[in-house]
Amino acid sequence: MSDTRDLCPRPTHLPRQPQAGSRPAIELAVVYPAASPAEADARLGGLEPGYVYQRDAHPNADDLARRCGELHQAERTAITSCGMSALALATLALLRTGDHVIVSSLMYGKNIALLTSEAERLGIRSTVVDTTDLAATAGALEPGTRLLVCETISNPLMRVANLPELASLATKQGAALLVDNTFASPIVCRPLEWGADLVMESMTKIMNGHSDAMLGMLAGSAKHWERIHRTLTTWGLAAAPFDCWLVDRGLGTLHLRVVTASRTAETLARRLADCHSISAVHYPGLPSHPDHELANGLFAKESSRALFGHMLAFELRGGLGAAERLISRLQHIHFCPSLGELATTLSHPASTSHRGLTPAARKALGIGDGLIRLSVGLESPEFLENELFSALRTLDAE
Ligand SMILES: Cc1ncc(COP(=O)(O)O)c(C=O)c1O
Q: CA-to-CA distance for 225 and 331, rounded, in angstroms?
A: 47
Q: Which of the following CATH numbers is that of domain 37-251: 3.10.450.50, 3.40.1030.10, 3.40.640.10, 3.50.50.60?
A: 3.40.640.10
- The question of whether 291 is a catalytic residue gets the answer no
Q: Is 363 a catalytic residue?
A: no
Ligand 1 proximity of 309 Cβ (cutoff 6 Å)? no
How close is the Cα of 110 to the center of ligand 1, in Å? 8
Question: Can you tell me which atom of ligand 1 is nearest the CA of 353?
Answer: 14
* Distance from Cα 102 to the centre of ligand 1, integer Å: 19
Give the pLDDT of residue 355.
87
The answer, yes or no, to whether any atom of ligand 1 lies below 6 A from the CB of 216, is: yes
Query: Which amino acid type is present at position 233?
Result: T
Detail the DSSP E strand segments found in the chain: 76-80, 100-104, 125-129, 145-151, 176-180, 198-202, 216-220, 278-282, 301-302, 305-306, 311-316, 334-335, 345-347, 371-375
C-alpha span between 193 and 90 (Å, rounded): 19
pLDDT band for position 12 (50/70/90)?
low
Q: Which one from 62, 63, 99, 180 is the annotated catalytic residue?
A: 180
Q: Are 73 and 193 in contact (CB under 8 A)?
A: yes
In the residue annotation, 6 being an active-site residue is answered as: no
Torsion of CA 92, 208, 243, 15, to 10 degrees: -110
Q: Which of 285, 288, 289 is nearest to 300 (CA)?
A: 285
Contact between 222 and 76 under an 8 Å Cβ cutoff? The reply is yes
Distance 84 CA to ligand 1 centre (A): 6
CATH no. of 254-396 = 3.90.1150.10
**Mean pLDDT on 45-60:** 93
**pLDDT band at residue 6 under the 50/70/90 scheme:** confident
How far apart CA 125 and CA 97 sit, in angstroms, is: 8
Q: Which atom of ligand 1 is nearest to the CA of 107?
A: 1
| Other CB atoms within 10 Å distance of the CB of residue 325 | 17
Indicate yes or no: pTM above 0.85: yes
In the chain the first and final C-alpha atoms are separated, in Å, by 81
Query: Which of helix, strand or coil describes residue 336?
Result: coil
Atom of ligand 1 nearest to the CA of 204: 10
pLDDT digit string, tens, across residues 111-140: 999 999 999 999 999 999 999 999 999 999
pLDDT given for residue 13 in this prediction: 62
What spacing in Å lies between the alpha carbon of 178 and ligand 1's midpoint? 15
319 vs 275: CA distance, rounded Å: 15
**CA proximity to 72, closest of 212, 209, 218:** 218
Residues in the chain: 398
Residue nearest to atom 14 of ligand 1 (CA): 338
Alpha-carbon dihedral sign for residues 70, 75, 80, 83: negative
Residue 361: the pLDDT is 86
Average pLDDT across the chain, whole number: 94
Q: How far is the CA of 2 from the centre of ligand 1 (A)?
A: 53
Minimal-distance CA residue to ligand 1 atom 8: 83
- The rounded percent of the chain whose pLDDT value lies above 90 is 87
Cα four-point dihedral sign 185, 190, 196, 200: positive
Give the active site residue among 32, 51, 108, 283: 108
Ligand 1 in reach of 243 Cβ (< 6 A):
no
> What are the residue ranges spanned by the domains of the chain?
37-251, 254-396
Q: Is 151 in the pocket of ligand 1 (CB under 6 A)?
A: yes
| 55 catalytic residue (yes or no) | yes
**Rounded CA Rg of the chain:** 23
Distance CA 190, CA 300 (A): 8
